[in-house]
Amino acid sequence: MQSRLGNWLVVAVAGASLFSLAVMPTSAQAPAYKAPRTKDGKPNLNGIWQAMNEANWDIRPHAASQGPVYSLGAAYSAPAGLGVVEGNEIPYKPEAAAKQKENYTNRLKLDPEVKCYMGGVPRSTYMPYPFQIVQGTGTMMIVYEYAGAVRVINMGAPTKAPADSWMGWSNGRWDGESLVVDVTSLNDQTWFDRAGNWHSDALHVIERYTAVGPDALQYEATIDDPKVFSRQWKMSMPLYRRLEKNAQILEYKCVEFAEEVLYGHLRKQPTQGKGDSK
């Protein structure tokens, strides 16, 4: 009797599971989110957004690690992260991989963030600071809190940059629900993260911003740099809307904080002679 009851329970549970699977909508059946529209009928991406991950420390999967200044203990240590690189590996050419290791070893001196250089693309998107999308018709603007960086995205016929720069040159277009931004003319002065992952001045980035809910965007960046990588690769992550009642981009111009690092060695040293107060 007990055996029959046990068999019946197994059959009943299995049947219930099959029924629930039958009525459960699949991802293919679920309707894709459609963002509210602006006056010109485009997806409305206006707002203040921020990444909630550890990619600024290392875009690859990584364990927690000691910070670069041992005397500070746990302060400035790197938190563990799942990584944002699709496939988890960056396809460096051998010599480029060696340079990444050198960058990491000397990160306290070489990391552009230490020098308050603008974060570049895509790093500015996932630095631990908010940024604001301001949407127009002919142009869009992305304003970053870090270093006061600003990008203007041309939404008309593609144009060419007059020169390379930290934030590059952005030409945008709409692909259904996604804003696609073609970023070129980036200089070689930025990194992807604090781990020394780097690029050359041949970097070409294709970004996609897609609303996946009222308060979330899916961000993708396809990376192409034939001088450094053996093939294209991609990173992706969600971005979240800042929901504070008074959310805003505040001023964080860090140049003055970096002056000692950049120019301290140029300061005239005081005379060490006895009794000399100069």
DSSP track, 203-222: -EEEEEEEEEETTEEEEEEE
Distance CA 216, CA 218 (A): 7
pLDDT at residue 263, as a whole number: 78
pLDDT at 270 over 70: no
pLDDT at 264: 76
Q: Using one digit for the tens of pLDDT, what is the confidence trace for 49-79?
A: 999 999 999 999 999 999 888 888 898 899 9
Distance of CA 221 to the CA centre of its chain: 9
Instruction: Inform me whether the pLDDT recorded for 17 exceeds 50.
Output: no
3-state DSSP call for residue 143? strand
Q: Tell me the percentage of the chain whose pLDDT exceeds 90.
A: 75
Cα angle value 256/258/261 (rounded, 5°): 135
User: CA angle, corner 250, sides to 59 and 222, nearest 5?
Assistant: 25
pLDDT reading at 1 higher than 50 = no
Name, in order, each residue with C-beta under 8 angstroms of 22's C-beta and a sequence gap of 6 or more. none
| pLDDT at residue 276, as a whole number | 46
pLDDT band for position 266 (50/70/90)? confident
Proportion of the chain above pLDDT 70, given as a percent: 85
The per-residue pLDDT for 30 is: 60
Position 15 confidence tier, pLDDT thresholds 50, 70, 90:
very low
pLDDT at 8 over 60: no
> What pLDDT, on a 0 to 100 scale, did the predictor assign at position 2?
42
